[in-house]
């Protein structure tokens, strides 16, 4: 069966520090991968999605970046965090061949920037 | 622009019935999803509609009217564990998911 894991679950970082969130998927090949951010009282905001290794599409201009060094690994990074980067970050995957677009989410990472 | 509207919060009593509504205006339509999200956790899939009518799936059925841009999630025999946020999301013409802000359902004993 397919599983998805992301870490760390919780982190508190000072403004201006770097960030690295990691996500891995098991049990499937060539998945579509996504990074979302969820702010309180707002809908999920798509940050990045990837349809293959090295292929990253950015939906929102910001100081975050994403990389996909391996087929089932997706990394969200920042060189210098801003206060506004605080939020709940979710990694997700979907089947490439599945047009329904059902998403399977990781456990989430809660980032607090102070 | 694209827009998904859901009530921000609803309150119901354990054992009762509640209906969570979602209206949408999107560029194209390729299906509508409902997800459940408990506080501090990731969303989990509940249901998917692409055709009009009621899609029955155990306790979590969902109804869709494409002509009205409307869906609802009827929850019966509410249990305390149903206290969560319910997220509506529409797959647009580019197969991108557009998310509503979610409806926080509070269940009282």
Q: What mean pLDDT do residues B54-71 have? A: 92
User: Does B98 have pLDDT greater than 80?
Assistant: yes
- What does the pLDDT look like over A71-107, one tens digit per residue? 999 999 999 999 999 999 999 999 876 656 689 999 9
Which of B42, B55, B94 is the mutation pick for testing A, counting most A CBs within 10 A? B42
Question: CA end-to-end span of chain B, whole Å?
Answer: 40
Mean pLDDT score of chain A, rounded to an integer?
A: 91
Q: Which of A44, A45, A101 sits opposite B91 (nearest CB)?
A: A101
**3-class DSSP assignment, residue A58:** strand
Both structure tokens of A95:
């089947």
Residue B61 has pLDDT above 90, yes or no: yes
Determine contact: A41 vs chain B, CB below 8 A. Answer: yes
User: What distance in Å separates the CA atoms of residue B26 and residue A101, rounded to the nearest whole number?
Assistant: 16
Pairing of strands B32-37, B3-5: unpaired
Burial B10-46 (b: 16+ CB within 10 A, else e): bebeeeeebebebbbebeeebbbbbbbbeeeebbeeb
Residue A99 DSSP symbol: T
For residue B30, give Cα distances in angstroms to B5, B33, B66: 18, 10, 10
Dihedral sign computed on CA atoms, order B27, B68, B34, A26: negative
Collapse the DSSP code of A83 into the 3-class scheme (helix H, G, I; strand E, B; otherwise coil) and give the result. helix
Average pLDDT over residues B68-76: 96
**What does the mean pLDDT of chain B come to?**
94
Q: Is the pLDDT of residue B1 over 90?
A: no
Determine, for residues B99 and A44 on separate chains, whether the beta-carbon distance falls below 8 Å.
yes
Can you say how many angstroms the Cα of residue A58 is from the centroid of all Cα atoms in its chain?
11
pLDDT at A97 (0 to 100): 62
Determine the pLDDT at residue A100.
64
**pLDDT tens digits for range A50-63:** 999 989 988 886 78
Interface test with B, best of A101, A107, A110 (most B CBs within 10 A): A101
> Taking CB atoms and an 8 Å cutoff, what residues of chain B touch A42?
101
Mean predicted confidence (pLDDT) in A40-48: 86
pLDDT band at B96 (very low <50, low <70, confident <90, very high): confident
Question: What was the pLDDT predicted at A40?
Answer: 78
């Amino acid at each position: 069966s397919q599983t998805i894991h992301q870490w760390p679950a919780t982190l508190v970082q000072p403004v201006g520090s770097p960030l690295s969130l990691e996500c891995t998927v098991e049990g499937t090949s060539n998945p579509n991968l996504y990074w979302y951010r969820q702010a309180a009282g707002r809908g999920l905001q798509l940050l990045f999605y990837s349809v293959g290794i090295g292929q990253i599409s950015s939906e929102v201009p910001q100081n975050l970046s994403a990389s996909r060094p391996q087929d089932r690994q997706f990394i969200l990074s920042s060189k210098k965090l801003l206060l506004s980067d605080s939020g709940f970050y979710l990694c997700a995957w979907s089947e490439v061949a599945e047009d329904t677009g059902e998403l399977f989410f990781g456990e989430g990472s809660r980032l607090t920037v102070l | 622009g694209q827009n998904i509207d859901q009530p921000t919060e609803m309150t119901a009593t354990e054992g009762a019935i509640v209906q969570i509504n979602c209206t949408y205006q999107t560029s194209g339509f390729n299906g509508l999803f409902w997800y459940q999200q408990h506080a501090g956790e990731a969303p989990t899939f509940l249901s998917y509609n692409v055709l009009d009518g009621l899609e029955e799936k155990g306790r979590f059925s969902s109804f869709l009217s494409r002509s009205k841009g409307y869906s609802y999630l009827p929850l019966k025999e509410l249990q305390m564990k149903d206290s969560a946020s319910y997220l509506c999301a529409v797959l647009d013409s580019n197969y991108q998911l557009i998310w509503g802000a979610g409806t926080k359902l509070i269940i009282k004993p």
